[in-house]
Amino acid sequence: MNQTVKFYQTGTLTVGNRLLDPEHRTVQASEERSNAITCGHRACQGCGEALGARYAIDAALKAADGNLICVNATGCLEVFTTPYPETSWQLAWMHSLFGNAAAVAAGVAAAQRVKGRNRVRVVAQGGDGGTTDIGFGCLSGMFERNDDVLYICYDNEAYMNTGVQRSSATPGGARTATTPAVGEAPGNVFGTGKNVPLIAMAHNIPYVATASVADLHDLEAKVTRAMGIHGARYIHIMVPCPLGWGSASHDTIRVARLAVESGLFPLFEAEHGVVTSSRPIRRKVPVTEYLKPQKRFAHLFRPDNPHGADALARLQAQADENCRRFNLLRAEEGK
C-alpha cells in the first residue's frame, strides 16, 4: 500500500481515511457511523486516550443503537472534551467528580431500570487515577453489586492531567513527577501497584477484558461483546501518553503495540472470574524495545545507573510471567 494517507478533520465530520481506497478504509471512515467525540477537543497530538475513548464509545453507541449514557470521571478526557463553553460529546454525557464515576453510573442505571427504559445502556469511563486509585472504592462497589454498567479505564499509567504523577498503575522503574529518576532507586518503586483487571475478575463479574489502541478492531470487538452482556463489566485499555511517557506523538500506536508484543500488557478476556481468551504474541520482542522510545525509562539505559540492568531484568521478568500466565506465546511456539 503506497498511497499517502492524509488525516484531516473539517466541520463536524471525521473524514480520516476516507481518501483511501474503499477496501483499505477502516470502520471509522464510514459516513454511517456515529461519532461520540467530534473534532474540537483539546487533546495533545498523539493522545492515546482520545483515540481509545472515541473507538470505545463509538462501538458502545453502535452496540446500544444510540441508546447510551456516558459518565466520565474527572481527568484529561473530561477536561479536553469539554472546554468551556463547548463540548465534543455527541451523546448524553455527565461528569460529576474524580472518584465517583462508577457510582454515578450505577445511579444512572438504577434510574433507567426504575423508569423502565430497558434499552438505554450506561458506560462509565475514567483514567487510571480515577479508576485504580481515587475511584477504586466506588468501582469495587459497582462490581460487587453487579450494577448494569460497563466501566472503561483508559490507562496511561500516571496522573497526566495534573502533570504526570505516579498512580497505582505506574510501572516499576518509570519516571514520573513524584517518582523522579534520581537517588538510589530512580523511578517508580518495584513491587508496588495493582492489577485492576485481575481484581475485577476477583469480583466474579460477567466480563473483564484488556485492550489496546494498537489493535482497534480487537478493542471494538471487546466493547461490542461487553455491551451484549448485562451486569458489571470492565475493560482496561492501554492508551500511551506522549507527554507523560516522553514518546513521540507519531509513535503512540507503535509504543502501544510494543507493550503488547513484549508481554508487558497482555490482552485477554475473562468471564465470571475465569480467563476465556488471550491474544497470542506472534513475535515476542524484548521489553527494551518497548522501553527505549520512552523518556520515562531513559535512566534505565544510562551507563552510569548501577541499577538499570536490574530494573530492566525485573521488567523483562514481568513480561515473561505475563506470557506464561496468559499463555501468550502459543502462536510463536506453534511455528
Residue numbers of the site for another protein (CB under 8 A)? 64, 66-69, 71, 78-79, 82-85, 87, 89-97, 99-100, 103-115, 120, 137-138, 140-141, 144-145
C-alpha cell at 93: 454525557
Q: How far is the CB of 91 from another protein (least distance, A)?
A: 5
Residues paired with residue 278 on neighbouring β-strands, in sequence order = 268
> At its nearest, how many Å lie between another protein and the CB of residue 290?
34
Residue 39 buriedness (CB in 10 A; 0-12 / 13-18 / 19+): middle
Contacts of residues 328-333 at CB distance under 8 Å and 24 or more positions apart, as own/partner, are 328/263, 328/266, 328/278, 328/279, 328/280, 328/281, 328/284, 329/280, 329/281, 329/284, 330/280, 331/280, 331/281, 331/282, 332/280, 332/281, 332/282, 332/283, 332/284
Closer Cβ to another protein, 96 or 178, answer by number: 96
3-state secondary structure 193-216: CCCHHHHHHHCCCCEEEEEECCCH
CB of 122 to another protein, least distance (A): 9
Distance separating alpha carbons of residues 81 and 61, to the nearest angstrom:
17
Residue closer to another protein, measured from CB, 138 or 264: 138
CB closer to another protein out of 26 and 96: 96
Q: Are the beta carbons of 271 and 207 closer than 8 angstroms?
A: yes
- Minimum CB distance to another protein smaller for 93 or for 245: 93
Could you tell me the smallest distance in angstroms from the CB atom of residue 112 to another protein? 7
Closer residue to another protein, CB minimum distance, 68 or 181: 68
Give the DSSP H/E element, type plus range, for residue 235.
strand 233-238
Minimum gap (Å) between residue 12 Cβ and another protein? 14
Phi, psi of 49 (to 5 degrees): -70, -40
- Please report which helix (H) or strand (E) contains residue 137, including its range: helix 136-144
- Smallest distance from the beta carbon of 124 to another protein, in angstroms? 9
Nearer to another protein, 140 or 277 (CB): 140
As measured in angstroms, the least distance from the Cβ of 132 to another protein is 16
Residue 140 or 318 having the CB closest to another protein: 140
- The burial of 97, by beta-carbon neighbours within 10 Å (0-12 exposed, 13-18 middle, 19 or more buried), is given as middle
Continuous segment of H or E residues that includes residue 77: helix 76-81
- Asked if 142 contacts 164 with a C-beta cutoff of 8 angstroms, the reply is no
Question: 81 vs 156, which CB is nearer to another protein?
Answer: 81
| Minimum gap (Å) between residue 147 Cβ and another protein | 8
